[in-house]
């Protein structure tokens, strides 16, 4: 059985970074780096009447660090902050897009980067109508998210995924899931 033998915290902020000694069943020890910021949630808001999905465009440091365009097109997402994951998904959708989501359809719970992080991400699809757009979105000002709300036809979102304009894995998963569940939205 694998066990954690030692944990050394090297940073404690929004995320905690640890050096962890993982011991294998044969007694071998392996030093690993681990990031821990809690669980997260991601939701794809979609309007079935107008056949559109609502995404956000925001700058991301990972792609920028790798020399790519910092602006990614994504489904609304964020950490749960200890909330029920569905409630956190509704909160993130409202903060980021200004769309009120009521019923959410769970589509899975996955480890986002199990080799180096503790995050489990909870995924949802959320139908909405024109009357559910009750805010401007854009994120929370003091968090510096710089979010632009983008509403696109579902078929165009699929084309954007196919040609690389959408390059975010969680968003790819949700667009593909929506297409499998409701193919008529993509015609």
- Environment class of 36 (CB within 10 Å of its CB; exposed 0-12, middle 13-18, buried 19+): middle
51 and 110 in a single domain? The answer is: yes
83 and 22 in a single domain? The answer is: no
Q: What is the pLDDT of residues 98-110, one digit of tens each?
A: 999 999 999 999 9
Instruction: Give me the chain's average pLDDT, please.
Output: 95
91 and 179 in a single domain? The answer is: yes
Q: Is 21 helix (H, G, I), strand (E, B) or coil?
A: strand
Residue scoring higher pLDDT (140 or 44) = 44
Average confidence (pLDDT) over 155-159: 98
Confidence grade of residue 145 (pLDDT, cut at 50, 70, 90): confident
Residue 57: CB partners within 8 Å, gap ≥ 6?
A: 71, 72, 73, 74, 147, 148, 150
112 and 139 in a single domain? The answer is: yes
7 and 57 in a single domain? The answer is: no
- Environment class of 44 (CB within 10 Å of its CB; exposed 0-12, middle 13-18, buried 19+): buried
9 and 66 in a single domain? The answer is: no
76 and 16 in a single domain? The answer is: no
Q: Report the pLDDT value the prediction gives residue 10, as an integer from 0 to 100.
A: 93
Which segments of the chain does DSSP mark as H helices, in order? 61-65, 85-97, 154-163, 169-181
67 and 15 in a single domain? The answer is: no
Q: Report the pLDDT value the prediction gives residue 75, as an integer from 0 to 100.
A: 98
12 and 74 in a single domain? The answer is: no
* DSSP letter assigned to residue 24: P
Cα separation of the two ends of the chain:
50
Q: What are phi and psi of 34, to 5 degrees?
A: -140, 130
Using alpha carbons, select from 65, 62, 10, 61 the residue that is nearest to residue 32: 10
Confidence grade of residue 139 (pLDDT, cut at 50, 70, 90): confident
Confidence grade of residue 117 (pLDDT, cut at 50, 70, 90): very high
Structural domains counted in the chain: 2
Q: What is the pLDDT of residues 49-106, one digit of tens each?
A: 999 999 999 999 999 999 999 999 999 999 999 999 999 999 999 999 999 999 999 9
113 and 51 in a single domain? The answer is: yes
88 and 136 in a single domain? The answer is: yes
Residue 2 and residue 20: Cα distance in Å, rounded? 12
Show the domain range for 13: 3-35
pTM: 0.93
CATH number at residue 61: 3.90.79.10
115 and 167 in a single domain? The answer is: yes
């Amino acid at each position: 059985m694998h066990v954690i033998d030692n944990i050394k915290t090297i940073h404690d902020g929004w995320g905690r970074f640890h050096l962890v000694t993982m011991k294998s069943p044969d007694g071998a020890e392996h030093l690993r780096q681990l990031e821990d910021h809690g669980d997260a949630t991601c939701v794809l808001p979609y309007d079935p009447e107008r056949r559109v999905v609502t995404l956000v465009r925001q700058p991301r440091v990972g792609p920028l660090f790798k020399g790519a365009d910092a602006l990614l097109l994504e489904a609304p997402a964020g950490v749960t902050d200890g909330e029920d994951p569905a409630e956190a998904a509704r909160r993130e959708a409202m903060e980021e897009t200004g769309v009120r989501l009521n019923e959410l359809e769970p589509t899975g719970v996955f480890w986002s980067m199990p080799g180096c992080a503790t995050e489990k991400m909870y995924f949802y699809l959320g139908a909405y109508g024109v009357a559910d757009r009750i805010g401007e979105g854009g994120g929370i000002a003091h968090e510096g998210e710089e979010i632009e709300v983008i509403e696109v036809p579902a078929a165009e979102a699929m084309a954007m995924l196919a040609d690389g304009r959408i390059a975010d894995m969680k968003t790819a998963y949700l667009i593909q899931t929506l297409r499998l569940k409701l193919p008529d939205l993509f015609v």
